[in-house]
Amino acid sequence: MKRYRGLSVFLIVAFLLWVVPFSAGAAAEFEVEDGVLIKYNGTGQAVTVPSGVYSIGDGAFAGNTQIKSVTIPDDVYYIGNNAFSGCRNLQTVDYTDSIVSVGAHAFDNTAWLGAQSDPYVCINAVLIAYNSTDKEAAVPQGVASIAAYAFANHLDITSVTLPDSVLEIGEGAFFDCQNLASVSIPQTVQSIGPLAFENTKWLAGYNEDFVVQGDGILIKYNGNSASAAIPDSVRQIAAGAFYQNKTIRSVTIPQSVFSIGMRAFAGCSGLAELALPASVFFIDDQAFADCTALAAVRIPKTVTYLGSGAFSGCTALTTATIDGSFHTLSSGAFSGCTALEDVTVGIAVTDIQSEAFSGCTRLTQIKLLDTVAEIALDAFVNCPRLSISGYRLSYAYTYARSCNIAFQALSEKPGDINGDGNVSLTDVLEIQKYLSAVSQLTPFQLRISDYDGNDRVNTSDVLAIQRAIARL
C-alpha cells in the first residue's frame, strides 16, 4: 500500500478552481472539462493522464481493451465510478499518493485488479476491493476509506472489523454480503453511504429501532411506530435511513442533527409533520421526495445546502418558507408539488435553478426579494396560476415580464432591508455589515437603507432606524 498523504476529501473541492491549460495534442485524445477527464479517445497501449487533470471522471476509460498501462500524475485526487471498468488488458497502474477517493467499480474486470495478491486491494488509503474468501475480514490499520461496493456480494464473509483509521464507508460497501452477521464500526467513522449494509444478517437482525453507528450516524430506522423520536446521540441521518417507511406519521429531529442524507425520508408517504431544527445545515438530494402527506415546511436559516429534488413530489405540500442561508435553490427542489400555493423565498437566495417549481400547478404566489439575480427559464414551467411578488425594477420584475408571468409589486418600506415587511434590528445589522464592508447591498436595498433621505447610506441612517424601532 502506498503512503497516504492524509489529505481530507474536502480538499478535492479546493482544486476545482485550479486547472492547468492543456496542449492541443492532449486535447485530441483527452476530453477535459474544468479539470475533469471526461473521456479518453486515444488508441495507445501506454497512457499518461495529462497534467492539470484533478479528477478522472465516471467511465472515462471504460471498456477500452487496447490500454495496457496508465500513469496517473500527482495532480489527480479522484478516480470516478467505473473509470477503468472493462479495460481487461490493463496490467499496470502507476499512481502517486495524491489520490484520496476512488469510485465504485473503478477497476472492475481489469488484469491489474485480478493480479493483486493482497486480500485488501488499496490505492493509497482507499480500500477498493476485497480479494479473499476468508470468512473473517479485518481491514488493516491505515485504511481511511472503504470504497463503494468494495465488499459487495461476498457471500463468504461472516464478520468484519474496521480499524479506527477508517473515516468513510462508501455506498453499498457491504451490499448483499448475506452472511455478514458481525460488524465492528469505530466511532471515527464520519460518513456511511446508502445501502452500505443492505441485505446483511447484521442489519436485518439489529434489535433496536435506531441503528446508530460511527460518529452518531443513523443508518437505518427499524421501528414501526407512527411517531419516531430520533435519539440525541444522532448527528447525521444517513442516506435512505427512513426510505419508504409507510408507517411513520411524525418525526422529532433533535438539535444534535446537522445533516440529512440523500433520500433519507424519501417515499415516507404517511409523514405529515416535520420540524427541522436550527442545527441542520445540510439537506441532500431528494431527502424528502414523495412525502405525499407533508402539508407545510419551513427551512431554517442554518441550512447552507438544499439538494436537488429535496421536496419534489410532495403532493400535499401547500406552503413552503425558505429561510435557508444557501444562495442557490437547486434544480427540482419543489417540482411536482401539485398542491403548493404559497412560497416565501428568503433574502439569501440569489439563484433559482432549472425546474425548481415545475409542475406546481396550484402555485399562485411566490415572493422574490431584490437579492434574486438569476432564474432559470424553466424554473416555473407548468405553473399556470403563478404570480410573482417582488419590487419594481428588480430582476424578478424583469423575469416575470419576459416570461409573461403576472407580477405584483411589493411596497417599498424604508429600512426594511430583508424584505420581511418589518423594520427591525435585523435590518440595522445588514446596514452595519455594509458600512463595515463585510457584505454588499443591492441597488434596491441601498435605496431603502437611505432612511433619512439624504441620498447616501451612513451611520445617521442606522441611528434613525434605531430611534424609529424604539418608538414602535
Place of cell 411517531: 227
pLDDT confidence tier of residue 455, bands split at 50, 70 and 90: confident
Virtual CA dihedral for 332, 336, 337, 343, nearest 10 degrees? 40
Q: Collapsing DSSP states into helix, strand and coil, what is residue 374? A: strand
- Beta bridge pairs of residue 182: 159
Number of domains present in the structure of the chain: 1
Phi, psi for residue 157 in degrees, rounded to 5: -70, 130
Distances (CA, A) of 449 to 163, 215, 259, 429: 57, 46, 36, 11
- How many whole angstroms separate alpha carbon 365 and alpha carbon 353? 18
Q: Is 263 domain-assigned? A: no
Q: Is 456 domain-assigned? A: yes
In 3D, which of 291, 193, 204 has the Cα closest to residue 238? Answer: 193
Q: What percentage of the chain has pLDDT greater than the value 90?
A: 76
In 310-423, which ranges are continuous DSSP H helix?
395-402
Range of the domain at 434: 425-471
Distances (CA, A) of 305 to 168, 285, 312, 326: 21, 10, 16, 6
Is the pLDDT reported for residue 14 higher than 70?
no
Mean pLDDT of 85-99: 96
Q: Is 142 domain-assigned? A: no
Q: Is 31 domain-assigned? A: no
Report the first-to-last Cα separation within the chain, whole angstroms: 69
Place of cell 400555493: 341
**Amino acid at residue number 205:** G
Q: Collapsing DSSP states into helix, strand and coil, what is residue 356? A: coil
The contacts of residue 467 (CB under 8 Å, 6+ apart) are none
Give the pLDDT of residue 54.
96
Give the pLDDT of residue 453.
80
Give the pLDDT of residue 91.
97
Virtual CA dihedral for 297, 298, 303, 307, nearest 10 degrees? 30
Q: Is 461 domain-assigned? A: yes
Q: Is 436 domain-assigned? A: yes
Q: Is 447 domain-assigned? A: yes
pLDDT confidence tier of residue 430, bands split at 50, 70 and 90: confident
Q: Is 249 domain-assigned? A: no
Q: Which range among 333-342, 355-364, 430-439 shows the weakest confidence by mean pLDDT?
A: 430-439
The gap from C-alpha 455 to its chain's centroid, in whole angstroms, comes to 43
